[in-house]
Amino acid sequence: MTCPKCNKAAQAEWLFCPFCQNPLKEKCPECGEMEWIGRIVCKSLVDEARTKQVEYLKQGTPDLFEKTVLPMIVLSAAMILFGAYVSEYHKVAWITKTTAEIITVVGGLIGCASIPAGLLTEAKFGVRSEAKKRQKFLQKFPEYAEILEKAKSAEAESSDE
């Protein structure tokens, strides 16, 4: 931040510029806090909108990793147990020992593949589902959408300088 009058670097907590005595902050009509004069959007409102968005993105976010890995591990464990049981005791007449062993091996392979499969699913669809959710949040809370939009353009402006 720089003082708009003398263009010297100003610190965020200063109320007045110590070089030219120009007032830097005023009482924000929206939140009542002292805020930077010329701000595009109320800082407290931006913080609130950001917090709300983070909370919204967190709640109920489909955990794709768990959704992929858990069923695969359950299936894998079931196959290993079933295959091992059958090949050990030959109690299921319609399955040969070889078939039972194949079931055990395939079950083991599914178990081994579950972690990479979960990571791949997360990498492929995780970002997309978060973007979708962000869109939903902005549609559901247009008042926050407006604030966040303003904050974004304010940041783009200050980084241009």
* In the block, residue with structure tokens 């997360």: 122
User: Is 40 an interacting residue with respect to Zn ion (CB under 5 A)?
Assistant: no
Task: CB nearer to Zn ion: give 20 or 81.
Answer: 20
Cα separation, 59 vs 53, whole angstroms: 10
Q: CB of 40: closest distance to Zn ion in angstroms?
A: 12
From candidates 1, 20, 37, 78, binder to Zn ion by CB under 5 A: 20
Task: CB nearer to Zn ion: give 5 or 152.
Answer: 5
Count CB atoms within 10 A of the CB of residue 25: 17
Phi, psi of 12 (to 5 degrees): -55, -30
- Give the count of residues interacting with Zn ion (CB under 5 A): 12
Tokens, residue 84:
């091992």
Tokens, residue 151:
């904050």
Task: CB nearer to Zn ion: give 7 or 61.
Answer: 7
The contact set with Zn ion (CB under 5 A) reads: 3, 5-6, 17, 19-20, 22, 28, 30-31, 42, 44
